[in-house]
Structure 1
Amino acid sequence: MALSLACAAPFAHAQDANGASSAMVDYQIDAGPLGASLNRIAAAAGRTLSVDPSLLQGKRAGAVNGRLSIEQAAAQALQGSGLQLATTASGALTVQRAPANGVERIGTLRVQGDQGNRTQLGDDRVSPADRPYASPQSGAHLSLQQIERSRGTQAGDIFKSVAGVINGDNRNSGALDLNIRGMQGFNRVPVVIDGSQQQVTVYRGYAGVAGRSYIDPDMIGGIDIQKGPSSGAEGVGAIGGVVSMRTLNAEDIISSDKDWGIRLKGGFSDNSTSPPPAFTTGGLRNGGRFLTACGGGRTCTVQQLPTEFADDTGMDRPSTGTPAGGSGSLAVAKRWDQFEVVGVYARRKTGNYFAGENGPGAPEPHYAVSRTTDSRGRWVEYTNVTFDGLNRFRAGEEVLNTSVDNQSWLLKVTWKPSPDQALEVGRMKYQSRYGELMPSAILRGEGALQSALSDVDADTWTARYRWQPANELIDFKANAWRTALDNTIRNVYSFPALPPEFTYIETTYRQSERWGIDATNTSRFITGWGDFALQYGFTHGKEDVHPISAKQSFSSNNAKREESSAFASAEWVPVDWFKFDAALRHTRYKSYDREITRVPSQSRPITYTDVHLQGRDSGNTPIAAITFTPFEGVQVYARYAEALRMPGLFETSSGPVPSMFAMDLRPEHAKNREYGINLMRDGLFAEGDQARLKLAYFDNHVKDYLTRTTVQLEGWVSAPVIENIDNADFKGYEISAEYRTPRFFGELSGSYYTYTNFCHSDRAYPTRSPACYAGGVTDSYASNHVPPRASGALTLGTHQFDQRLTAGTRVSYTGNRPTLPRASNIIPVVDWGSYVLVDVFANYRLNDHVALDLGVDNLTDRYYMDAMTLGLMPSPGRTVRLGFTVNF
C-alpha cells in the first residue's frame, strides 16, 4: 500500500487504523521529491499515508536512513517542509500543515488504532479538514485550495458551498456580513482574522443594517467555521457561530528544500466596466398613469405612452473574455534558525458588473387599461404602466455601485526562541474605494443612481504567542490585537419633482477602534478513568466608535464599550465508544454613550430628562454534549449550548436609529439544541477513498432577541426603537458530505428550514394578535435576516494527468425566502426568487512552479438576485476568470 493522494483532504485505507503503528523497518531512501519519499516510506511499512497532493508541490525530502518506525521515517522526510505527521479522528495516519505559528509538537505521536473517540480539545494534530466530521457541533473547514476554487468576484463568494452560511448583502461594498442559521449582524457571527476582530455595524436606511468585516481573499490561508455557541476564546457573544480566518504563513510560500520563497499571483476577469460619474441613472424609470383615450362627447388631451423607459446607458456589455478587471498579489517569505518573515501585497480592481441575460426575473412593463364613464355617457380611458421582475435593472445592464478597487498588505515576523515556543507579530492594511448603494434609493425618484465612491481603511495589529512543550499539561496561547477602521460612505439622492437643492451627496464619516487580549491553556491527562482534556482562559476587549475628527455626522455613533469573559471546557473519553464535553462561560460588559439623549416620560404631561445612555450586565452560559461511536467511523451526538450576546454600541448609543428608550436592554440569550450523525470512513468502497458525512438537526431559540421594532407607549401613538423582543426561533436540517478518491472528488452541502418565528414583547402593541410572526416583527431588521427555506450545492471534480489537472463544476440551488406571515413593515423585505447557478473551474500545473487557473461563474448567464441582499440589484452575469500562480 502506498501514499494516497487526493485533493483538499487526506485519504487513508481503513484497515491501516487497526495495524501496529510502531513496526520497525530498515530504510535507505535517498534525498528526492517529498511525494516520492513518502510513497516509499508507506510502501516499505505496508501502510497508507494520506496527503493533499497540493501540499507537496515543489517540496523535497532529505535522505531517510536507519531502522525506524513509519512515524520516525515520515518525520525525517517532513523535516523543514512545513508539514507534519498527524492522525485523523479515526486513527489513520495523515500529513498536514504544521500549526500556524510554527511551534513543533514535542514528544511521541500517539496513534490510537481503531479508537472511536479521542480528546480533540485544542489539538492541532487533528486534521482541520476532518474536525467538522468528528465533532459534536456543526462546522466547516475551507482549505487554501478550496478558497482558490470558489473565489468568485466578491469576498463572500467563497462561502457558497458551506451549508447554512450565506454572506448578506454580498454585492454591496465588498465586505463580509455572514449569516449562520438565521443569525446575522451585531457581532452575532464574529469574523476573526488572526485572532482579531474589526466588524462594524452600518446603517442601511429603510433596508436595515449591515455588519461589515474586510479582507482580500489573496491574504487568506484557511478558514474554520463553527456553527452555534463556541466554548473558546473567539466565541464571546457568538450566538450564531464563529468564522475564524488565518492569513498566509511561511509554510504556504516556502518549499521544503529552501529557506525562502516567493508566490506571484495574477489574473483578469471580464463582465465589468469602469463606474460612471455620480448621478448617472440606471435601470427602468418609474411607470405611471397616462390618459390615452376619451369619447362620448368628452374632450381631452391624450398623453403619448412612452415606448422606452430608459435610454441605452449601461447596455454596452463587453463580449465574453474581454479583460475588464484584474487582481494580483506578491507574497515573499524568509526563514532563519529562529526567525521567519512573511510579506504580502495584493491589489484588486473590478468595475461595475453586468447582470445576466437569461431566465425570468428581469423587469418588463405591464399595461393595464381602465375606463370610467359618467352619467352622460362620456368616458375617459387611462393606461397604468407598472413593472414586474425582481428589480428595475434590465437583463445585461450595468449594475451601478458594484465596483471595488482595493489594495492590501501584510507583514508578519515570527520568533522561535526554542522548538516549543513561537511569538508572531503582524500588521495588515486594507484600503478600498468601492461603490455603495443605499438600498431604498432604487425605489425613489427615477430609479437607480451611481453614487460617489465610498472609502474604507482598516488597520490590524496582532501579537500571538504559543508555548507547547513536551508536558501534556501545558499548551498555552496568548493573543493581543488592535484594529482601527475609518469608513467614509457617500450616498447620492435625487428627487426630480423637487428643486435642484434636493439632489445632493450625503457623506457619513465613521471611525471604529477595537482592542483585545486573550489567553488559553489546554491540559491533557491519561488516567485509569479515561482520557481528559481541560481548556481554560479569559478574554478582554474594548471598542470605541466615534465620528472622524472635525467631520461630525448625525448618523455616526459616539460611544465606548468593554467586555470580558472567563471560560473553561472539558472533554472526557472514558471508553472508546463514548465522549462527554462540557463548558461554562462567564461574560460581563459595560457601555457608555458620550452623546446626550433626551428621554421623554411615558405619561402626560410629557417631561424630558437628558442622560448619557449606559449599559451594564453579566451572565453565565453552559455547553454540554455527548458522543457515541456505535461502529467504527460512525458517531451519534447530541449537544445543548447556550451563549449570551451583550448589547452592542449600535444598540446602546444614539445614532442613526431612534434609541432614546434603549436604557434597559438585556443580553440576547441563545439556547440551542443539535442532534447529528457523523460518518468518517476511509476505504469505504475502494482502497484509497475517503467518505465524510454529517447530518444535523438544529433547534435554535434566542430569548430577548434585539432588533428595531415599533412599540406602543402610554401617551404616544407609537415609536420605532431598539428593543428586546421575546424570542427568535430557527429550526431545520443540514447535510455536509465529501467523497474523494485519487482521481475523483465530490462535495454536497444543503440546508432546509422547517420553522422560523419571532415574537413581540408585551410592550410592543399589547393588544395586537397574533404576537408572533414567522418573518420578523413590526419594522424589524430581522425581516431581511431570514434565509431561504432550502439551499444546497453539489461539486463534482476530477484529477487527471498525474494530478496536474484538477477540473470540475459546482451546481448550486437557492430557494425562495419562505412565504411567511409578517407584521406590517416600513422595512422593505427583499424576495429574490429561487435560482440555480452553474460554475466551472480548472487548475493545471505546468510544472512544480507554474499553475494556470480558469473559472467561469454563472455559466448559463442567469439573471438573478443573491439571497440575503438588501438592495434591489441583480447579481453578476456570466463571468470568466483567468489567472496564474508562480512559486519560486
Structure 2
Amino acid sequence: MLSTSRHCSKLTTLTLALGLVLSQPLAAQAQSNIVTFNIAQQPLSQALNQLAEQADMSLIADANLLDNLQAPALYGQKTVRDALTQTLQGTAIIAEIVGNTIILKGTNTTATTTAPADLQANLAEQPKHADDIEVIVVKGDQINLNREQLERTKGSSNADIFSTHTSIEANNLRNEAGALDIGIRGVQGEGRVPVFIDGSLQSTHTNRGYMGTSDRTYIDSDLISTVSVEKGASSRVSPYGAGAIGGTVTISTLNPSDILSANQEFGVLMKLKTYNNNKTPEISDDPWQQEYYQVTQDQDSSQFENGGLVLASAYKGDDFSGVLAYSKKETGNYFAGSHGYDQFVDVTDSGFERLPPVNQGAEVVNTSFASESYLAKFNYAFNDEHSVEVNTRHHQQEAGEMLASYWLKYTEGDYWRLPDGTFGIIPQGIEAMPQWEPGTAHVNSASATYHYLPTNNNKVDLKVNLWSTNAKLKQYNALGSNLGPNALQYLHEYSNRRHGVSVYNTATFKLADSIPTVLTTGFSWQDEKLTPKEGSEDNFWSGTTTSRNGKQTSQSLFANAQLDFDALELVLNANIHNAETEDYQTGLSQEFDEKTDFTAQLYYQLLSNTTLKAKYSHAYRMPSVYETTVSNEVFSYSPYYPVAPEQTNSFEVGVESQFSGALVTTDSLTIAANYFDTQIKDMIATANLPNLDPAAPEWLETSSTFTNYDSFTLPGIEVLLNYTSQYVYASASITKYQNIEICSAQMAELAGVATCNNLGFSGSLTPLRIPPEKNYVATLGFTLFDDALDAGFIYKKHSDKSHPGGFLSGTGAANVLAYIPASYQLDMYLDYTFSPRFSAYTSITNVTDRYAVSAGSIVAVPEPGRTVTIGLEIKL
C-alpha cells in the first residue's frame, strides 16, 4: 500500500522530491496503462487517493473541489484515463495526465460526463493562485522507472538499469553472472535490499570466494516494465519486508499496456537489438587449456555481434487479460576502454611498472552472457468483487564467472600448456588469461494473488498472495571439488528454493470522525532452503559438499497506518518477525526470537511550494540461512562464533521546493535535499578469526567465518535538481557520504589497529561494503517533433576509493586493488518514434572510451569500452 498525504503547492508534483526519478516520464504511457482497479463507492477524495495509488501515480487537486462529493465504485481493468472519466462522472471537475501526475481542476460547467481536457488550455483560461491547490502524494521517497527510462540506461549488464541513480550501488557489477545484487545508500546483501518480481521474492545466496558473497536476482531486463525503489526501511506495507533495512526493489514485468495500443484488444510486440564491442569466446573443454586462453587485444568498432530478441503478445478483455513473452539475449566477452589506463599502472619504489591484467582496449575474459526467458501473466475478474492474478516466469542462462585468485595473465616468456599436454614458451605478441566455461542458472518462479473487495464496504480490501521460486545453479563458487584442475575444483551444483504466503487487509475510514485513515494489517510466512545437488558429495575430496544444506523459516505480523491531517501526513509501520534455521549438515538449529521493526514518516507543508519530510526507523535483520549454516566454502558459519540479529537505527530529513515558470511559462523546476544517517549495530560480515574448534588440525590456526561487527555507520546527503519543459529536460544529483565508520573491538585487537576506521578491516571483506565518498549523475535531454524524438546525454562519476593496507594479503587472491581511481562515464541515447507501432533507438555507452573499474570491485575488472547499441520496436 502506497502512502498518501495532502500538501498545498503549485501545479507541480512532489513525486520527484527527495531522490525520485531523475528524468521526465512520458505521459502517453501513463494514460494508456491498463490497471486493475478495485475501489468501493466512497467519498471522492478517498476514491481518488486509491485510484492514484493503484495506478502508481501522483495526484494534484484543489481541496475545495472534493468536499461533499461521492464517487461510484470502480472495478476491473481500465486505462487511467477511462478510470478518471468514470470516477469524475457527474462532477464539475476535469482531469489531465502530465507525466506520472494526475491534475484535477474545476470548470464553470456542470456536464454530466467530463473527459480529461488539455491542461495548458485550462491553465490559460482559469489561472489559479498557488494557495488554491492541494497536492496528494502517493509515492514517498521512491525511485520509479518506466520502460522508456529503462531503455535509456541499459548497458551490457542487466544491472545497468540502476546506474543512473547515485544512491544505488550494484555489487561487483561485471562479475555477477548478469544478475542483480543491489545496495542502497551503502547497505547491501543477505536480504538487506530484497528484490520482488511480480509478487515473488527471488534472490540467491552465492559465495564468491575472496570477492565476498552475493545476493543474486536473475531476470532479463528486457522483460521489465517498471521498477520502484524505496530507500531505507520501508514505511509502506510490505508483507515480506522484514529485514529490509537498506530498502526494497519492486519489479513489474511486461503488462498489456506495454504491448497494446489504445483501444486494442490483442497485440504483438517485437523488439530487436544488436551491439558492437563484444566477441563470443571459443572455450576449450580441457580445463588446462582454459587456463591459457589467448586474449584478443582489440576489435573493429564496426563489427556488430550478438544481440537480443523479445516477442510478446497480450490480450485485454472485459474480465480477462494476459501476457505471453519470450526473450533471448546473447553477448560475448566485451572489450575494455582505452583512455585512463595509466591510472591503473602501479609503479613500485624501484620504478618497476606492474600492469593490470587487461590491456587498454583488450578483451575482458569471463564476461560473456546468454539467456532465454519465458513469461506468462494472467488476470481474471470473476465479478465486481473477486479477481485473481497469476504470474509465472522461467529464466535460464549461461554466464562467465571468475574468482579473484585467477585474475592474472601470462605473457611473453611465461610457460603455458599446449593442446598436446606438453609445456612451451608463450611467444611474442601473445597474452593469455584464464577463461572458464560459463556457469549456469535455471530459475522458475510463480505467484498468485486473490483479491476480494466487496461493494460498498470500505473496511474490507483483502489480498491473499502465494509465491514460489526455485533456482538451480551450477557455478564456480565452491572449494575442494574433485572434478578436475583449475576451474573444475570450484564447480558445484546446488538449489535455492523459496516459497511464501501472505494475507492482508486494507480498511479506509475516518479516525475520530475527522482524520482520513488507511489501515493495513496482515500476516506472512516464508520458507527458504539451500540444498546441494543429490549425490554431489561424491564430487568433493572431503566427502561433504561445499554448498550449504539447511533451511530457514520466518513469520511476520505487520500493520501500517496512514493518517491525513491536511497539511501533515503521518505514516506508522510496525512489523513483528522471527526466524528459525536448521543446518542439516551439522544437525544444529537456531531460533531467533521475535523482534519488532518500527518506522514513522511524516510530511509537512512548510510553504506553498516547499515540503519537509522526516523519517525514523528501528529495524532488525535476522541472520540469513547462508550466515547460519556450515559449509566448505571460503567463509562458513562457525558455532564457536555465534551471530546475533543486526539492529538498525536510521533517520532522515529532507526538504523539497517546486517552482513553475522558472525559465518559460510551461516549465517546472524541482530542488530537493535529503540528509540520512544509517547506523547498523552488530552488523554481520566476514572475518578471519582464531580457530576455536578443538577438532581442527594444528596447521589450521584461523577460521574464515561470520561475526558481528560492533557498528557500521553510513551518514550522507543527497541533492537533486530536476528541470522539465516542453522541449528540454535536465537533472543533476549527488550522493555524498560523510564520516563513514566501521567499528570492531574484536578485529582491532587481532590486527593491532584502531577500533574504528573508514576503510574496513584487513582479513575480512568489509572494505567491499564501503561505497566511494561521492557519486554524481547528470542528464540532459531533448524532445522534439511532438515528442517523436527523444535524445540526450547521461554523465556518471564516482570519487576514488581505497582499501586498507595488506587487504587479503596471505590469501590466494591475485592482483587485489589497493586503490580505485575516480572515474566518469558519458552515455548518449536517441529514440525516434516513426508511428505508434514502430520506433527505433540507438545508444552509445562510454562515449569517451574510458578505462575504468567499478567502485565495488576487488580486482581490476575494467568496465566495457565504447559500445553502440541499435534497436527496433514493432507493435502489431
Q: 1:453 to 1:52 in 2, by over 3 A?
A: same
Change (3 A) 1:557 1:13: closer
CA distance in 1: counterparts of 2:796 and 2:209, whole angstroms: 31
Q: 1:443 offset after TM fit, Å?
A: 4.8
Shift of residue 804, structure 1, vs aligned partner: 0.7
Q: Which residue of 2 aligns with 1:415?
A: 380
1:542 and 2:527 matched: yes
| 1:812-868: CA deviation from partner (whole Å, max 9, x where unpaired) | 111112577898765756633111111000110111110001100000111111221
- How far apart are 1:181 and its partner, in Å? 1.2
Q: Compare CA radii of gyration and give the structure with the larger one.
A: 1
1:448 positional shift: 3.5
Q: Structure 2 vs 1, CA of residues 573 and 501 (structure 1 numbering), >3 Å: closer, same or farther?
A: closer
1:394 aligned counterpart, secondary structure: coil
Residue 360 and residue 778 in structure 1: after superposition, are their counterparts in 2 closer, same or farther (change >3 A)?
Answer: closer
What CA distance in whole angstroms lies between the structure 1 residues aligned with 2:59 and 2:245?
Answer: 37
**Structure 2 letter corresponding to 1:153:** S
Secondary structure of 1:765's counterpart equals helix
The answer as to 2:775 corresponding to 1:797 is no
CA displacement at 1:792 relative to structure 2: 1.2
**Letter paired with 2:851:** Y
- The corresponding residue for 2:470 is 484
**Residues 786 and 589 from structure 1, CA distance in 2 versus in 1: closer, same or farther, beyond 3 angstroms?**
same
Partner residue, 2:573: 583
Matched, 1:651 2:627: yes
Q: Percent identity?
A: 25
* Alpha-carbon displacement from aligned partner over 1:356-410 (angstroms, at most 9, x marks no partner): 11124476586876xxxxxxxxxxxxxx85415xx31000100000000101010
CA drift at 1:503: 7.8
Counterpart of 2:259, as a letter, is I
Partner SS for 2:114: helix
1:302 — aligned with what?
none
Q: Is contact 1:776-1:823 (8 Å) kept?
A: no
Alignment partner, residue 526 of structure 1? 510
Change (3 A) 1:234 1:466: same
- Structure 1: which 5+ runs fail to align? 25-32, 56-65, 79-84, 86-92, 94-111, 121-125, 286-309, 370-383, 495-499, 597-610
Deviation for aligned residue 1:22: 10
Structure 2 SS opposite 1:146:
helix
Residue of structure 2 equivalent to 1:356: 337
**C-alpha distance 220-615 of structure 1, shift in aligned 2 (>3 A):** same
Q: 1:343 is aligned with what amino acid?
A: L
Aligned to 1:240: 246
SS in 2 for 1:755: coil
Q: Is the 8 A contact 2:641 2:707 kept in 1?
A: no
Within 1, Cα distance between the matches of 2:440 and 2:803? Answer: 37
Amino acid paired to 1:727: S
In 2, distance between residues paired with 1:71 and 1:215? 47
Equivalent position of 1:392 in the other structure: 357
Note the residue ranges of structure 2 that are not aligned, 5 or more in a row.
Answer: 1-10, 14-22, 31-56, 70-78, 120-125, 412-431, 695-700
User: Residue 694 and residue 336 in structure 1: after superposition, are their counterparts in 2 closer, same or farther (change >3 A)?
Assistant: same
- Separation of aligned partners in 2, 1:829 and 1:184: 21
Map 1:741-760 → 2, pairs under 5 A: 741-760=725-744
TM-score (structure 2 length as normaliser): 0.79
SS in structure 2 at match of 1:148:
helix
Identify which range, 443-452 or 623-632, moves more after superposition: 443-452
2:473 is the counterpart of 1:467:
no
CA distance in 2, matches of 1:507, 1:22: 66
Q: Match for 2:563: what amino acid?
A: W
From 591, 607, 611, the equivalent of 1:631 is 607
Deviation, 1:325, is 2.0
Contact in 2 for aligned 1:775/1:822 (Cα 8 Å) = no
> Any conservation in 1 of the 2:764–2:808 contact (CA below 8 Å)?
no
Please give the alpha-carbon distance, in whole angstroms, between the structure 2 residues aligned to 1:444 and 1:220: 38
Task: Report the equivalent of 1:862.
Answer: 850
Distance (Å, rounded) in 2 between the aligned partners of 1:159 and 1:328: 22
Counterparts of 2:112 and 2:440, CA distance in 1: 52
> Which residue number corresponds to residue 48 of structure 2?
none
The question of 1:872 aligning with 2:857 is answered no
Partner Cα distance (2:487, 2:323) in 1: 48
Per the alignment, residue 695 of structure 1 pairs with 673
Q: Structure 1 503/48 Cα, relative in aligned 2: closer, same or farther at 3 Å?
A: closer
Shift of 1:572: 1.7
| 1:673 alignment partner in structure 2 | 651
CA offsets 1:711-770 (integer angstroms, 9 cap, x no match): 357899653321112111111011234221221111222200012111115587379452
1:252-273 per-residue CA deviation (whole Å, 9 max, x = no partner) reads 2122222111111001000000
Aligned residue among 641, 655, 659 for 2:617: 641
Q: Is the 8 A contact 1:588 1:619 kept in 2?
A: yes
CA distance in 1, matches of 2:693, 2:212: 27
Q: In 2, are the aligned partners of 1:774 and 1:820 still within 8 Å (CA)?
A: no
Over the aligned positions, Cα root-mean-square deviation in angstroms equals: 4.0
Q: Work out whether 1:568 is the aligned partner of 2:559.
A: yes
**Partner residue, 1:810:** 794
Partner of 1:319: 300
User: Match for 2:203 among 192, 199, 217?
Assistant: 199
Aligned with residue 430 of structure 1, among 395, 398, 408: 395
Structure 1 counterpart SS, 2:768: helix
Q: Which residue of 1 is the match for residue 42 of structure 2?
A: none
How far off is 1:176 after superposition? 0.5
Partner Cα separation in structure 1 for residue 861 and residue 660 of structure 2 = 45
**Aligned match of 2:17:** none
Equivalent-residue separation in structure 2 for 1:392 and 1:360 (angstroms): 11
Residue 73 (str. 1) matches residue 114 (str. 2): yes
Residue range with higher mean Cα deviation, 156-165 or 621-630: 621-630
**CA–CA distance in structure 1, aligned partners of residues 501 and 528 of structure 2:** 12
How far apart in 2 are the matches of 1:322 and 1:778? Answer: 44
Is residue 617 of structure 1 aligned with residue 602 of structure 2? no
CA contact (8 A) 2:94 2:115 kept: no
Equivalents in 2 of 1:848, 1:643: separation in Å?
47
Deviation at 1:475, TM superposition (A): 2.9
Residue in structure 2 matched with residue 840 of structure 1 by the alignment: 828
| Other structure's SS at 2:749 match | coil
TM-fit CA distance, 1:163: 2.5
Candidates 151, 157, 160, aligned match of 1:157:
160
Among candidates 226, 242, 245, match of residue 222 of structure 1: 226
Q: Does 1:831 align with 2:819?
A: yes
CA contact (8 A) 2:287 2:485 kept: no
Partner of 2:405: 440
* In 2, Cα distance between equivalents of 1:704 and 1:794: 36
* CA–CA distance in structure 1, aligned partners of residues 271 and 304 of structure 2: 16
1:158/1:644 CA distance change after superposition, 3 Å: same
Match for residue 277 of structure 1?
A: 283
Alpha-carbon displacement from aligned partner over 1:667-724 (angstroms, at most 9, x marks no partner): 1111101111133455565443333343111111111100111335789965332111
SS of the equivalent of 2:304 reads: coil
C-alpha deviation, 1:14, in angstroms = 12
In structure 2, relative to structure 1, the CA distance for the partners of 1:340 and 1:269 (3 Å cut) is: same
Whether the 8 Å contact between 1:279 and 1:449 is mirrored in structure 2 is no
Asked whether the equivalents of residues 653 and 659 of structure 1 are also in contact (C-alpha less than 8 Å), the reply is yes
C-alpha distance in structure 2 between counterparts of 1:684 and 1:628, whole Å? 24
Length, aligned pairs only: 756
Q: Distance in 1 between matches of 2:578 and 2:59?
A: 47
CA distance, structure 2, for counterparts of residue 71 and residue 748 of structure 1: 45
CA distance in 1, matches of 2:191, 2:396: 22
Q: Distance in 2 between matches of 1:362 and 1:393?
A: 13
User: What CA deviation, in whole Å up to 9, does each residue of 1:84-127 have, x standing for no partner?
Assistant: x9xxxxxxx9xxxxxxxxxxxxxxxxxx9956565x6xxxxx4x
Task: Give the match's secondary structure for 1:846.
Answer: strand
Within-5 A mapping of 1:254-269: 254-269=260-275
